[in-house]
Amino acid sequence: MTEQAIVKKVEQEYAILTKSREEACAMCAAKNMCSVSNSTTGKTMTIRAMKNGIDVKPGDIVEIEVPNFSATKLAFLLYGLPLIAFIITMMGLVSLGISEGFAVIVGLLAVAGVYLLLSIYDKKNREKLMPRILRKVGKSNGFFTAR
């Protein structure tokens, strides 16, 4: 999915972009239930995107490619897998006659292990899942015009 945003700040390999929340959330199925799209704190969001070899400066309007990543899959990875690891560990240890207190401690260690594995996965795949700048579209006139 491609979108437009305005360059706010340029770092070495990344650019910090701003974009309208309404447009970013328009395609999301959960937009009516989401606290981000219903927020009254502001109408713009900040995105960190890879420059992808394109020379950009603050104020440039750029087209970015945002990878399609299911919110359901993300929620399962962050909440479902650790919960499953905890329950399986607890049930397995209790069924073996281990005390519940010890099983809780080992279950929490299993949850920590799952989060450690997710952290390693995230570090290896972060660039693949990050938004990328595709091209410069133009220069901002001072008002938020990216769509």
- Report the alpha-carbon distance of residue 144 to residue 48 in Å, rounded: 17
Kindly report the pTM of this predicted structure.
0.60
CB atoms within 10 A of CB 53: 8
Determine the 3-state secondary structure of 60 from DSSP. strand
Determine the 3-state secondary structure of 117 from DSSP. helix
Over residues 38-77, the pLDDT tens digits come to 554 557 788 888 887 888 888 889 888 887 777 888 899 9
The answer to whether the Cα torsion of 75, 49, 67, 120 is positive or negative is: negative
Over residues 93-125, the pLDDT tens digits come to 999 999 999 999 999 999 999 999 999 988 888
The answer to whether the Cα torsion of 64, 69, 70, 76 is positive or negative is: negative
